[in-house]
A and B are shown apart, each in its own frame.
Chain A
Amino acid sequence: MLILAVLYLFLRDVRAAFIAFTAIPLSLLAAVAVLNHFGLTSTP
């Protein structure tokens, strides 16, 4: 939520802020997919 607020403050565009925001879950999803593929868990 904080990230969204800051993004809106600087980009002055709700759509742009949301597009930037989608990068977070997308990247994390990709990262988890890679980690999962190599069999790493969250608690090593």
Chain B
Amino acid sequence: MTLGGFAVALGVLVDDAIIGIENILRRLRENARLQAPRSRLEIVRDASLEVRGPVIYATAVVVVVFLPELFTSSVQGRFVGPLTLAFIIAVVASLLVAMTSTPALCALFLRQHDERPEARWLQRLKSWQRGSVHRVSEHLRMTLLALIGFVMVAAGALPFLGGTFMPDFREGHFVMQVSSSITGTSLEEMLALGTRVSAEVLALPYVKSIEQQVGRAELSEDTWGPHRSEFHVELKPNARWLRAPPRKSCAASSSITRVYRARWSRFSVTASARA
């Protein structure tokens, strides 16, 4: 799960460095236009000191948001804890990198005089954003009211959001156990029975394939004799019941069970299916 934490952090890691580099680039560009340009080292130093505050705040906020995850208990905590820890450590490390190596690399490798202006589409985006910010600040009261409204709606929707640690799987696969009431039932008899069960199950429109497992291997985990048999039923991927809620799929399995109760009453076969 630590690797999962790194994967989540991947997008966040560059953020701090980007904020620093963007500002350094901007300052270098401004410097190039001056009559008497200052040295690159000075510019890089001042520019990275300039955004030091925002970078630290941004990182602190990301870390604080993830901190409660560290205090989740039980299985969930064991599951998510390492991920969170790895994420937080990686983000803090990215802050250190952005404070130290990024400005140094900028000072070493960036061009002294970058005359090229920003890309035109970037300029257009920026002017559009500037315009919308102005418009928002003109109607500050309304913006605040809308914000409060949205927050209230979101908070009101909170109780209706379900939450489970592990969602129900709908794999479209059943393991069906069939056992004979007579303990000494032979392998041949169970195989014959299995052939009939398989034919019956395959006739169902939503069944893709079925396989029977009967008898036991020398060092098997299933320690029962040949009178018990397991069927693996694979359902068609687009079977309609797959999209239905889990209750429906239980009904489907119990209908399979009923089929066997009725048909193979000679041994009073009990078949139970689980997804």
Enumerate chain A interface residues (CB-CB to B < 8 A).
3, 7, 9-13, 15-16, 18-24, 26-31, 34-35, 40-44
Contacts and interface: CB of A to CB of B under 8 A. Distances in A.
A2 B49 CA distance: 29
Nearest to B98: A23
20 contacts: A3-B10, A10-B18, A10-B122, A11-B21, A12-B118, A13-B110, A13-B111, A13-B114, A19-B105, A20-B17, A20-B102, A22-B105, A23-B98, A27-B9, A27-B90, A27-B94, A31-B6, A34-B89, A40-B86, A44-B2
B239 interface: no
A16 B110 contact: yes
A15 B116 CA distance: 14
A28 to B, nearest CB: 6
B67 interface: no
A22 B101 contact: yes
Contact of A44 (B16, B78, B91): B78
Contact of B93 (A7, A9, A15, A27): A27
Interface in B165-208: none
B82 A30 contact: no
A19 B97 CA distance: 11
B140 interface: no
Given A20-B17, A31-B89, A11 B2 contact: no
Given A20-B102, A28-B13, A31-B89, A44 B109 contact: no
Interface in B1-49: 1-3, 6, 9-11, 13-14, 16-18, 21-22, 25
A38 to B, nearest CB: 9
Nearest to A17: B21
Contacts of A20: 14, 17-18, 21, 102
Given A24-B94, A42-B3, 12 more contacts: A15-B110, A19-B109, A22-B17, A26-B93, A26-B97, A27-B91, A30-B90, A30-B96, A31-B9, A40-B2, A42-B1, A43-B1
